[in-house]
Every structure is written in structure tokens, then in C-alpha cells.
Amino acid sequence: MKKYNKVTPEGTKDLLFEECSARKEVEQLLSGVFESRGFHGVVTPGFEFYDVFDPAVSGIAPEIMYKMTDHKGRLIVMRPDSTMPIARLMATRLQNLPKPVRLYYTQTVCRNHPSLTGRSDEVMQTGVELLGAAGRRADLETVVTAVECLSKCLPDFRLELGHAGFFRAIASELPISADLREDIRLSIEAKNYAALNTILDGLEPSLPVAAMRRLPRLFGGEDVFEQAAPLCTNPQSEEMLSYLHDLYKALTELGLGDKLIVDLGLVQRNDYYTGIVFSAYTEACGEAILRGGRYDNLLAGFDMPMPAIGFSINVDAIAEGLLSAGKLHKKTSIDVLVHAEPGCEVRAMLYAAELVEQGLKCENSLCDDRPAALAYARQQGIARVDFVGRQIEKAEMK
């Protein structure tokens, strides 16, 4: 039987040195943004009961969840999403808090991607959930928080803005099954025009069919709203388009116009989105580094209906982008190697502690003698070696 004790499972990897430092720095930077805006940190379990992620509510396909059973035989999964557990948390331990409730998290999510080579199955995410707040102010607050996060990390980004309800309002007028509606949504999301046209060619020509055909092409600046107006098939789609336009203009007034792209074909995979949806991209990463939107119906599934909106950020993707661009602080090297002469080990440790209090980074030598300590310091790029015996001798490395 082949052993796998020297490899990691597909979709996972070890993080080394600068990668660990980069992830930590991004986490701290974004946590600072969240806390400055009044969000409070929470952490949910790494695995939850399968029922928390009921596919009928979450839109998360069962086959992408990592599953196992507990000691009672109950089905549990490794956390594939952070919003659903936070909804559970809100409906239980936090149900009596005054609304709105501002929460943020930094934790891993695990999803199985067997057909997507190179895609990580384990991703560190951070994000916010604004629970119990509806309307324009909450939407603006959330999008602006997302923009502030990205501006502090990778300022060369674009933010795509859409409305999940716009697709549903038009799709509701098509005489099709739920499965075929999902096929249309997936084709629009992937901007797969050939697959979309094949489906729509089989339907009776109508305004909703024409609107669906145009939806993935409604992508660009403010002129998209003018192009989309004739495609509105009912008062609901008109109202949603008007609301999105109003939000776009507000964000433009905040100086974000050059970052914004309207995408009415932005229909997220997670079925719980009900209102605005948004995604962010950079040239350094081929997939979205941020996804979010409004999900006003989700908490009803936990018997605590309330409006909500949030977003998640792929910390690993941002850290990798910053490392590639050389924009993260380099690892701070050791200032002093402290080497104890035989019998002076305790004194050397106390001496090293004094240097640390002075603000220096110190490493205690584990070498057997002075020549070995000097050789180690040269190898590691340590600028100074202090030898602690009856007296303290300092050797500057050249």
C-alpha cells in the first residue's frame, strides 16, 4: 500500500516563512479596517453539521463539501462557507443583541474542487457580516468597507457591481423548470454565450428571452443602465435596476467611479443572495479576491428572519499578490546571536532577555563552540555575535 506521509492532499499546500508572514500581515491589516468600523471578531467551528449548509438554502453543492461523521453517526462537514455558520451563531447565541450586529471573521473554508487543477481546497478568508440592517445606507457601508480593505492591500483593483434579484425577476417570467433556470444562470455567470444561446433558442421568442440573451453582455460603465432599461420585463426588474443605478451614482460621488464596473450578468453561485452583489478582481489573480452581496432571506432558515449583507476576502490570494509585487515587509533578521561559554548558559539567557527588552531580536546559540557560532552567524546573515562568559565579548560580522 502506497504511503502518502510525505505529500499534502490535492488542493492544499504548506506555507513557509515569507508566506506565513504575508498571510499574518494581511490578516492584521484587514482586521484593523474592520475594527475601525465597529465590527467585532468571531470564530466558528472548523466543522459543522451538514444541515447548517442545506444546499436548498446555501446553494453549496453537496459534492464540494468535505464530509465525515461524528461518534453518533451524524453527518458533519468541514466549513465550506463562513456566512452560514455566522447566521447560525446570530440565531442562537447572539439573538438578543441590539440590531444591527457587525461581525467579522478570519478563518479557513474547505471546498473540494476535483476538476479544477491548481484551485486551493483550503482557503483562508476574512470578511464581514452586517446583520439586521436593510437599505441603501447598509449597502453603501458594506461596499465602502470592502473598497477600503482592497485599497490598503492591492489598490489596482476593479469592483464589479450587480443585482441578484434582477436576474430572478426576469427569469420568473420564463416558462421553464427550475433546473433549466439554473442552467441559464450558470451560462450567464460563466459568460458562456454558446451554451446560453442553445438553451434560449429552444424557447418561444419573447422580451424575457431577449433580456436573458443580452444579460451577460450588459457589462461596463454607467451606460449599461440605459442599455438595460428596455429589457425590464416587470415593475420589480425596473425597481431593482433603478436602485442599482442610484447606488452606482452614490459610489461615484465617493470617488470610486474609476474602480466600478456594472455587470448585470453577475449572478453568484450562492442562491441566498437577494439584492446587490459585488466581486473584486486584480490583474495579479485570475479569480475573484472578494465576493459579497445582500442576503435578506437567509436567516429565516434559522428561524430568525432579518436583512443582512456581507462579503468575504481571499486572504491567501491577496498575500500572494503582495508577495509577487514585493509590497510586503521583508522578514526581520536576527540582530544578535548570543553564545554562552560552557557553564554560562543561564547568564547568557538573562543577557539575551535584556537585549530583547532594548528592542533587539536575539537568538540563543545552540553551537558547541565559538568557531561554530561564528560560522552559523555568517550563514544566517546575523550581524553580531555576543559571547557570554565571565565577560561579554562582541564580534561584528563582516
The pLDDT score that the predictor gives to residue 14 is 82
Which pLDDT tens digit goes with each residue over 112-160?
876 655 678 899 999 999 999 999 999 999 999 999 999 998 888 999 9
The pLDDT score that the predictor gives to residue 276 is 94
| pLDDT over threshold 80, residue 357 | yes
Say which residue, 272 or 300, is predicted with more confidence: 300
**What nine digits make up the cell of 247?**
447606488
The mean pLDDT of 308-328, rounded to a whole number, is: 88
To the question of whether residue 358 is assigned a binding role by annotation, the answer is: no
The pLDDT score that the predictor gives to residue 114 is 66
The pLDDT score that the predictor gives to residue 109 is 95
| pLDDT over threshold 90, residue 58 | no
Q: Which range, 57-66, 237-246, 277-286, has the best average confidence (pLDDT)?
A: 237-246
Closest listed residue to residue 28, CA positions, set 174, 112, 146, 152 = 152
To the question of whether residue 83 is assigned a binding role by annotation, the answer is: yes
Which domains are present in the chain? Answer: 18-325 (3.30.930.10), 336-396 (3.40.50.800)
Burial of 227 (0-12, 13-18, 19+ CB in 10 A): middle
Task: Decide: 301 and 274 in contact? Cβ < 8 Å.
Answer: no
Closest listed residue to residue 290, CA positions, set 277, 273, 303, 306 = 277
To the question of whether residue 182 is assigned a binding role by annotation, the answer is: no
The mean pLDDT of 204-220, rounded to a whole number, is: 88
Which residues neighbour 242 within 8 Å (Cβ) at sequence distance 6 or greater? Answer: none
The pLDDT score that the predictor gives to residue 118 is 60
| pLDDT over threshold 70, residue 178 | yes
To the question of whether residue 82 is assigned a binding role by annotation, the answer is: yes
| pLDDT over threshold 60, residue 197 | yes
- Mean pLDDT, the chain, whole residue set: 90
Amino acid identity of 3? K
Angle at 395 between CA 394 and CA 398, to 5 degrees: 150
Query: What are the phi and psi torsion angles at 103 (to 5°)?
Result: -125, 150
| pLDDT over threshold 80, residue 271 | no
The mean pLDDT of 76-105, rounded to a whole number, is: 96
To the question of whether residue 111 is assigned a binding role by annotation, the answer is: yes
The pLDDT score that the predictor gives to residue 332 is 64
Q: pTM (2 decimals)?
A: 0.88
The mean pLDDT of 234-259, rounded to a whole number, is: 92
The pLDDT score that the predictor gives to residue 60 is 85
Q: Please state, for a pLDDT cut of 70, what percent of the chain lies above it.
A: 96
To the question of whether residue 66 is assigned a binding role by annotation, the answer is: no
To the question of whether residue 369 is assigned a binding role by annotation, the answer is: no
The pLDDT score that the predictor gives to residue 257 is 83
To the question of whether residue 272 is assigned a binding role by annotation, the answer is: yes
The mean pLDDT of 220-239, rounded to a whole number, is: 90
The mean pLDDT of 72-87, rounded to a whole number, is: 96
